Structure 1
Amino acid sequence: MLVKVLSSSYLGIEPFLVEVEVYVTNGLPIFNIVGLGDTTISESKDRIRSGIKNMGYFLEPRRVVVNLTPANIKKRGSHFDLPIAIGIMIGMKFISDYKGVLKDYILMGELSLTGEVRGVEGIINGVLLAKSKGFKGVIIPEENMDEASIIKDIEIIPIKNIRDVVKFIEEGVVRSKRVLNVSKVYQNNLDMQDVKGQIRAKRALEIVAAGGHNIIMVGSPGSGKSMLAKRLIGILPPMSESEIIETTKIYSIAGELNERVPIVVNRPFRDPHHTSTATSIIGGGRVPKPGEISLANNGVLFLDEFTEFDRVVIESLREPLEEKRISITRSLGKMEFPAKLIFVAACNPCV
């Protein structure tokens, strides 16, 4: 029996649709996953088997082949656990999608050995993809509910375990949804009015905030450079809805979201240490991920002790500060990350 379940993945910050094809048939009891999946996806076999069994279902020794389409693009992440598991359960006739629910929803989620569904990275990208493709909604872990709730006009189905998915597919039963209280999301409390004196420096930062300019502050240690820089985001205008979504996408992919900060509603302020590498500042790696310059998108990147940074790091800032984006090319392809930010540097004067 061939079952098709929809999921998503992403290159850079751009999502794309992944069709999870699950073929269950008689034959030698093997479990193969094809379609250019990474090690995390290959290891999902044991999580899926244990998760289904611990939910009370008996897995017969059958031949299972899973194909992740398109097969020519590398896929990574543990969020394919859920769609693969549901495909197997339908293929083995544990459940029936007689209402045709699966063709209208994208599924994402990592399985534990007990069958619980855990939160994953990049959920908001999948939600945006589902909305742009005209799907009815997404089925996601309850842990990611707050992150996904900022996308409007699409149905969000939060689940806690495999049984919740079964109830929704067969009966349309949905766990109670909570509404995100944005006022309880972490807010920046640093205020420019706390700074006494420094009239010229504060005036310079007002001009920076008004025009989106970059600035370098030179002064003796303890003169207040870091204090002023940290309060710059307090005089910047509030983030628009599109800026909140764009910035949250980047933080979701980078794994920077948590229970305290489920979405990014404040302009980000990033201040990496001067020993940071070029890759951590600009982004990249074997599997390209956003660096500090992209995590500061729509906010402020502050490099204290600027002259102590490696020359490669300083030279690497030229293009992204001018183009407002950073392009990273690997064998996987070319990926672009946004870098629309205010750059603030600070250093001590020569003596």
Structure 2
Amino acid sequence: MKPDYLPTLDLKRNYRRVKEEIRRAVDEVLEEQAFILGPALSAFEADVATYLPVPHAIGCASGSDALLLALMLLDLKPGDEVITTPFTFFATVSAITRLGAKAVFVDVDPHTYNMRTDQVLERLTDRTRAVVAVHLFGQMVPLETIEEELRSRGVVLIEDAAQAFGSWRFVDGTPRRAGSWGDLGCFSFFPTKNLGGCGDGGMVTCGDDGYASHLRSLRVHGSGKIYYHDEVGLNSRLDALQAAILRVKLRHLDEWNEERRLVADRYALLFSEAGLLGDVTPPAALEGNGHIYHQYVIRCRERDALQAFLETEGIASRVYYPLCLHLQRCFSFLGYGEGDFPAAEALSSEVLALPVFPELTGVEQERVVEAVGRFYRSRQS
């Protein structure tokens, strides 16, 4: 009998673990009938602020809006520059572009897939207003290598932590969580995230009281007092039902992230035991990082053919990301071309995300690795 299809993420398994808790939380919101900016949201924002920890956590409608709201605080002008990575989700750069600033790219570390901080320092100019550091696939950029220089130049550090809620980095023996380090932190609660809701959702974190007050105004059309508008903001609020669900899941997040790390460790062991390390390169965790493996992304030979083979075996996989942002047609006006960021471009042709979620079993992982092994053995015959 053909085995069941193995998805990259099984949300149903995860839901079954907290089903009753979530239903009770949703029922409480339904009884209160306070759906917009109500007590459920305030409670979730307070929980996040305590967890990270940060002084302020402001819910919004999506991770994309979180980035947009954070950058709106800076009142960017044409000619202003924002440094970031070309190997990330589209929203990172679309937010910069939408506000009229220029995205300035740096290449990535081919082992961690994160932006090269040495190149960030090289790209700083008098026009640099911000750096958007993307904590990709669940592990953090080593921000200690750039924070002092950015601070001395008055450059705002924004953490794109959409894929990294709960990850951390040890610096001088102290853990610093993603989203608590920079001037602003941006999160997504899209259902597939480690901390995911049952719809869209996002959050911006910060330590500055002025930023926090401004963000709370911007998310309600730039209004401080109802029907009185100081500026043109957005309609971007995290609704109470999502907040209640996320509050339940936050209580379990550390346990689930630890289970993801165990899955990652098991993959690395299985690939090694199968003698596949010449064909497959598992993701590397930078020393000092608490990687939470939002995605388990390998580098591999003949990526597209391997992905097609896995599909025939009933195993899902995904490519993050098949075309770097500096090569996307809509960003051609930035003037970049093929070969400008060789490490990022190489990753786009080699990376493959394998199934990874807390409930993934060892037997299922063995099935994935055995299928990968069969593929490469078939190429040798």
Same fold (TM over 0.5): no
User: RCO higher in 1 or 2 (8 Å CA, sep ≥ 6)?
Assistant: 2
Structure with greater strand percent: 1
TM-score by length of 2: 0.26
Structure with max Cα Rg: 1
Structure with greater helix percent: 2
TM-score by length of 1: 0.27
